Amino acid sequence: MSVGWPTLARLCLVNAAIGGLAALPVNLFNRLMTVELALPALLPGLLVALHYGVQLTRPVWGHRSDAKGGRTPFILGGMAVVGAGVLGAAWGIAVAEASVQWALAIWALSYIAIGLGIGAAGTSFLALLASASGARKGGVATTAWLFLIAGAIAASIGTGVALEPYSPDRLVVVVGTVVSIAFLLCVIATWRVEARVPETAAPHDTPLVVALRTTWADPIARRFTGFVFLSILAFYLSELIFEPFAGHVHGLGPEDSTKLSGGKDGAALVGMIGAGVLSQLRIGTLRFWAVAGCAMSALGLLGLGAGLPLVPSTVALGLGNGLFVVGAVGSMMQLAAAHSQATGTRMGVFGAAQAIAAGLAGLVATGMLDLTRLVLPDGAAYGVVFTFEAALFLLAAVVAARVMRRDDMTDDATLVPGE
């Protein structure tokens, strides 16, 4: 038994809300701390690493979904916690104008809340979606990813427009509005959906430790966990320095750099849709899209680092990211969907690996940027970081070509979004 397409599409509004709220700490808040407040780039890197580190709780939420059910309360409760954290982070930026020490305490608590909320809501949403979708996991998961990107684009561009002219007080009002809209979308999305989904609890309520050991004992799952770590590390390296780069090197204001970030996400959306459609037409394999996406992302990053025109290089980076998602992340998540009684646990394990890589990427990128800016002009310092990321993407392309050789690992892979 599964629900119809209209209900599944409505449920995917949860992912739009997650994408919208998750985009603000990584993009806008990072830029405001680094440029407007003139704080070290390592600070937002540490905060984002904290938010990803807390998401190591994802296997707990996933296992709980497998064994107990009752996912809607965790989705809504998690989103309430995320919203409180995002609003608290925005308030901390306003407080930092008077006291950086108080702002640091507010930011630490806020980013912990963001990580906990995304871990609970995101993992529970994926488990509910898998239960509700029946045999249509490929199309449903692709829809969920589209909603995730669309939410990030809408929040980035909408916030950028609403922030004109920028002020810390205006930031709190705008972010509060975005948080309210996101939570309302989640209420609408989950309304009476779970009541129409059959019970999917694990028959013997397997303990968490046993479930994790079983997952790690699978050599395919273990191999893909390593691949996910490397590829996501490359994928996230530019996240925390992209908007500061637009401000420091190209002189863009907060509203313009936020719009540029939204444009990059839009290009990723186009790349993902294109690769997804072509894949359905049997044009290009998942391995091909993973390798092509890594290579195109590297070209975009090299263009940014070399001082080539900003918009074309940004579009190339976004398109490459979209292709990469279709090929690499889609293949990895198919492994989780193939184990119906452990889908949540496996999604949690892969999500934890993704969180570790994403958090480490923020620390590496911002720490490297701070060090290189001590001895190099801004343009050259950012160029070093972008070149390093491009090299990692090329390495990921080589790994994808080797790891994704076996057809039985990659055929009919589905896209399942990550936050």
Rounded distance, CA 379 to CA 362, Å? 19
Q: Pick the range with the lowest mean pLDDT from 196-200, 223-227, 385-389.
A: 196-200
* pLDDT tier at 410, thresholds 50, 70, 90: very low
Domain count, the chain: 1
pLDDT tens digits for range 208-218 = 777 777 777 77
Q: Please check whether residue 320 lies inside any domain of the structure.
A: yes
Rounded distance, CA 187 to CA 13, Å? 9
We report the CATH number of the domain holding residue 291 as 1.20.1250.20
Q: 243 lies in which domain range? A: 5-196+208-410
Is the model more confident about 356 or about 67? 356
Give the pTM. Answer: 0.72
Q: Evaluate the CA torsion angle 127, 129, 135, 141 in order and state its sign.
A: negative
* pLDDT tier at 295, thresholds 50, 70, 90: very high
Rounded mean pLDDT of 103-115? 95
Residues counted in the chain? 419
- Please tell me the predicted confidence (pLDDT) of residue 407: 45
User: What percentage of residues in the chain have a pLDDT greater than 70?
Assistant: 86
CA angle 94, 99, 103 (to 5 degrees): 60
> In a 3-state reduction of DSSP, which class is residue 124?
helix
Q: Please check whether residue 22 lies inside any domain of the structure.
A: yes
Rounded distance, CA 383 to CA 369, Å? 9
Rounded distance, CA 225 to CA 119, Å? 18
Q: Please check whether residue 286 lies inside any domain of the structure.
A: yes
pLDDT tens digits for range 313-368 = 999 999 999 888 777 766 665 666 566 566 667 777 777 777 888 778 878 888 89
DSSP labels for 43-75?
A: HHHHHHHHHHHHGGGHHHHHHHHHHH--HHHHH
* Nearest residue to 392 via CA among 366, 418, 357: 357
* pLDDT tier at 417, thresholds 50, 70, 90: very low
Q: Please check whether residue 87 lies inside any domain of the structure.
A: yes
- Please tell me the predicted confidence (pLDDT) of residue 365: 86
Query: What are the tokens at 281?
Result: 């037409």
- Please tell me the predicted confidence (pLDDT) of residue 408: 46
Q: Please check whether residue 370 lies inside any domain of the structure.
A: yes
Q: Please check whether residue 202 lies inside any domain of the structure.
A: no
Rounded mean pLDDT of 109-121? 93
Q: Please check whether residue 203 lies inside any domain of the structure.
A: no
Average pLDDT score, the chain = 82
Torsion of CA 338, 231, 158, 187, to 10 degrees: 30
Burial zone of 353 (CB within 10 Å; 0-12 exposed, 13-18 middle, 19+ buried):
buried
Q: Please check whether residue 128 lies inside any domain of the structure.
A: yes
